[in-house]
Amino acid sequence: MDDHLLFEAKRRAAERGQTLGELVEDHLREGLAHSVPPLRPSVEIPVYHGRSGVLPGVDITSSASLLVADAYHAALAVEHGCDG
């Protein structure tokens, strides 16, 4: 926590005759009571339930390996007349 913020919180708690914990609780309650709803609704993220795992030879920690795998997949798609 920022030292200046902590100092101000302790000062305000003392002014009100509260402990620091009581001041924090009061402000948390107030903040949670006035919470703003999300700007957009939550969305459900689709989950793939097909074959699991990474294709053999593909290193997911290597961008070069992923680019090679993507190029290979694109070449196969062209060869078979697919769009990708």
pLDDT at 83: 63
What's the pTM?
Answer: 0.41
SS3 content of the chain, % helix, strand, coil (to 5): 55, 0, 45
Instruction: Dig out the tokens for 75 from the structure.
Output: 């070449």
pLDDT at 58: 85
One digit per residue, the tens of pLDDT, for the chain of length 84 reads: 899 999 999 999 999 999 999 999 999 999 888 877 778 888 888 887 777 677 788 888 999 989 998 898 888 888 888 764
What is the domain partition of the chain in residue ranges?
3-33, 55-84
Give the Cα separation of 29 and 43 in Å (integer): 28
